[in-house]
Amino acid sequence: MNKTSQVAVIAWLLMLVYYFYQYALRSAPSVMLPQLTEAFGINAFGFASIIGMFYYGYSPFSLITGASLDRLGLKKVIPPGALAVGIGAILFATGNQTAASIGRCLQGAGGAVSIVGAIYIVWRYFPPSKAATLIGAAQMFGMAGGFAGQFAVGPLIASGYPWQKFWLITGIAGVLLGIILFFLLPDDTRQNKPENNLKTTLNSFKIVFRNPQSLLCGFIAAMIFIPTNVFDMVWGVQFLQEGYGLDYGSAVMRAAAVPFGWIIGCPLLGFISDRIGRRKPVIIGGSVILLLGLIWTLYGRANVFPPYSIAVLIGIASGAGMIPYTVIKEANLSQYSGTATGVCNFINFTFSALMGQLIGWLLVRVSDGSGQFLMKDYRITFSPLLLGVCLAIIMTIYMKETGHIIIKKK
């Protein structure tokens, strides 16, 4: 392995650690919902509002990160992102509602840097034929963090561990991670900088946003991601407790099975896509399975299938949501790698932010503000997610195929 390859591998592995870390913090609030609502003195809508601040930081900084990486390189962009996540966690630990909201927004801003940076490294340093596999592997590490944020943190909080202490320690860890990234990431600043950097940046956004393929990729990814980002990682534990009558420990375990499925599905579906040289069949196949899994979760009978099986299946199928991140790069010029990834992430998580707020409001509305939700309340609230997955399937049908088998035939 030559020196460039070694540097690329080290950089990519560091980004995987970063992505794991921020995803663990993203999912952790779902297992401490009672503690947080009591500490902040808020209802379900207020809880969703604070947690949803993550996506209001994540969405715009997806755009900023993508464009910045294309022009400034890794070293000047990635470490500040990790520092932002760490500082955000420390602010969340204060127990002050305003500080927690700002902290959650900072976590989102820094969180965007991790996945956009990981994908940027893949496109800049690795062969295109391996892109979907490596991007899927990156998402695997992220979802491993999501799994840890529920599976490991849930029992910790249930045993009486102070939630403020958890956020303080993880915040300090984020600051240390930022320092490590600064010293170990390569300085790949572009030598030939454009004279009018702002104009060039705006022009790159214009080119990517004007490409219909870019918009389709963002919307498809959003419709596939939202069931995991909003349904499972925010409301999953409470839904299983109140909708299915599970105890807290069992609910945490089953909710954590969804990101565990992602750990399997993201690299697996990416590998399949690279192997067959096509993107659309994998996205459609994964979306169909996801749709069936969600329908059964909301409307099926309990105890028909083995425990965890439906949750794991939903997670595996949701791995199809990473394929559009490969498509959007293949549909745009190579010099816009970071920008294209940022655009896809921006569209994806803007919808997650809006849906998170909407679902919190709708749950309160359909339950007449009681704060205790029945299965019928969850069905009314989460049924629109089924329509979203159907829409993703339809949009994928109209999306142009960019897999290498099709490209070679042209």
Tens digits of residue pLDDT in 134-185: 888 888 888 788 788 877 888 888 888 999 999 999 999 999 999 999 998 8
Cα–Cα distances in angstroms (integers) from residue 318 to residues 46, 284, 329, 352, in the given order: 28, 11, 20, 15
Q: Concatenate the DSSP letters of all residues of 241-260 into one string.
A: HHHH---HHHHHHHHHHHHH
Q: Which residue has the tokens 């994928």?
A: 396
Q: In this structure, what DSSP letter does residue 306 have?
A: -
- How far is Cα 393 from Cα 200, in angstroms, rounded to an integer? 35
Instruction: Give the chain's mean pLDDT.
Output: 87
pLDDT at 240 over 50: yes
* Residue with more model confidence, 109 or 4: 109
Q: Concatenate the DSSP letters of all residues of 160-218 into one string.
A: T--HHHHHHHHHHHHHHHHHHHHHHS-----SS--SSHHHHHHHHHHHHHHSHHHHHHH
- How far is Cα 202 from Cα 193, in angstroms, rounded to an integer? 15
pTM of the predicted protein model: 0.78
25 pLDDT band (50/70/90 cuts)? very high
Residue ranges per structural domain of the chain: 3-188+195-409
Contacts of 82 (CB under 8 A, 6+ apart): 18, 21, 110, 113, 114, 174, 175, 177, 178, 181
pLDDT at 304 over 80: yes
192 pLDDT band (50/70/90 cuts)? very low
- How far is Cα 340 from Cα 104, in angstroms, rounded to an integer? 25
Are residues 73 and 126 in contact, defined by beta-carbon separation less than 8 angstroms?
no
409 pLDDT band (50/70/90 cuts)? low
Q: Which run of H or of E encompasses 305?
A: none
- The 10s digit of each residue's pLDDT in 89-114 is 999 999 889 999 999 999 999 998 99
pLDDT at 191 over 60: no
* Residue with more model confidence, 46 or 163: 163
Q: Which run of H or of E encompasses 278?
A: none
Cα–Cα distances in angstroms (integers) from residue 152 to residues 25, 148, 265, 316, in the given order: 12, 5, 21, 20
- How far is Cα 347 from Cα 183, in angstroms, rounded to an integer? 32
Neighbours of 208 (CB within 10 A): 26
pLDDT at 195 over 70: no
Cα–Cα distances in angstroms (integers) from residue 5 to residues 8, 118, 197, in the given order: 5, 15, 29
- How far is Cα 137 from Cα 115, in angstroms, rounded to an integer? 11
pLDDT at 133 over 70: yes
pLDDT at 313 over 80: yes
The CATH T-level fold of domain 3-188+195-409 is Growth Hormone; Chain: A; (1.20.1250)
